[in-house]
């Protein structure tokens, strides 16, 4: 049996410690447009990836309780840079460029553009990638390609469902979570837990903070 929304994975003390950790200021460090511009790899990082419009900016803002930290863009595919945010303890959150967007009607099928791919391959301090999946759409072909790329790069990743509030009926969230977990169960680098979140209602955000805190401590 899968756990309901992962809520019993962490103790209340762990959830609270993660809340306190993320309540401290998180600052924008830099945006890198080229591999040469990536900051030093001497502090622990976790990264967020997903299709454009999946709710990545909103999720980063929700996790840090800073509404303007990551730019929530209404224009899919606008953000091509890898953006770095520094936690109070020095660790970093990394916002990878969204993938799978359409440019002038032409589908860009490359999952991770060069920079994102290079980042994933050459980052020994990268503790985990959170691969975001829109709960209304579930795993799409392009997401499967992203999972392939992560498996190939041997980067530990965890699937996080976004916009769980939008799923109707709400009971579908648990079904989708279980189905997603099953779909990734044979993937070598997949973390065996799927979180359902909503930046709108706050569901799953406390657990995601605890997941990130745990991953950063590895
Ligand atoms: P990004 O392109 O992945 O950074 O996605 P954004 O964070 O900009 O969000 C894309 C759209 O989805 C925006 O209109 C957001 O308001 C909306 N959105 C993001 N997260 C949620 C959520 O948890 N629930 C709902 N209902 N809408 C969301």
Higher pLDDT, 26 or 81: 26
Could you list the beta-strand ranges (E) of the chain.
27-32, 45-50, 82-86, 92-95, 102-103, 106-107, 126-134, 157-162, 195-196
Tell me the CA–centroid distance for residue 186 and ligand 1, in Å. 29
Q: Given a cut of 80, is residue 155 above it in pLDDT? A: yes
Higher pLDDT, 178 or 7: 178
- Taken in order 144, 97, 54, 87, the sign of the CA dihedral is positive
Per-residue pLDDT tens digits for 47-90: 999 998 999 999 999 999 988 888 755 455 446 789 999 999 99
State the architecture of 12-216 in CATH terms. 3-Layer(aba) Sandwich (3.40)
Residue owning the nearest CA to atom 24 of ligand 1: 163
pTM of the entire predicted model: 0.92
Q: Tell me the CA distances in angstroms from 197 to 32, 100, 161, 203, one per residue in order.
A: 28, 21, 6, 5
Higher pLDDT, 106 or 134: 134
Q: Given a cut of 90, is residue 115 above it in pLDDT? A: no
Query: For a substitution probing ligand 1, which of 5, 50, 56, 58 has the most ligand atoms within 8 Å of its CB?
Result: 58
Cβ contact 183:190 at 8 Å? no
Tell me the CA–centroid distance for residue 55 and ligand 1, in Å. 4
């Amino acid at each position: 049996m899968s756990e309901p929304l992962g809520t019993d994975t962490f103790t209340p003390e762990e959830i609270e410690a993660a809340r306190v950790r993320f309540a401290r200021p998180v600052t924008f460090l830099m945006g890198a447009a080229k591999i040469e511009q990536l900051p030093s790899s001497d502090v622990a990082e976790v990264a967020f990836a997903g299709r454009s419009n999946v709710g990545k900016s909103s999720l980063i803002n929700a996790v840090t309780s800073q509404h303007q930290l990551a730019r929530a863009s209404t224009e899919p595919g606008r953000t091509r840079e890898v953006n770095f945010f520094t936690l109070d303890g020095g660790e970093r959150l990394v916002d990878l460029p969204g993938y799978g967007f359409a440019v002038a009607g032409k589908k860009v099928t490359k999952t991770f553009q060069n920079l994102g791919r290079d980042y994933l391959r050459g980052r020994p301090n990268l503790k985990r990638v959170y691969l975001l999946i829109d709960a209304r759409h579930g795993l799409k072909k392009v997401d499967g390609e992203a999972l392939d790329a992560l498996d190939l790069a041997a980067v530990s990743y965890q699937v996080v469902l976004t916009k769980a509030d939008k799923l109707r009926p709400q009971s579908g969230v648990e079904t989708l979570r279980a189905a997603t977990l099953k779909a990734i169960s044979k993937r070598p680098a997949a973390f065996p837990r799927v979180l359902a979140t909503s930046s709108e209602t706050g569901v799953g955000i406390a657990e995601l903070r605890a997941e990130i805190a745990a991953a950063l401590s590895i």
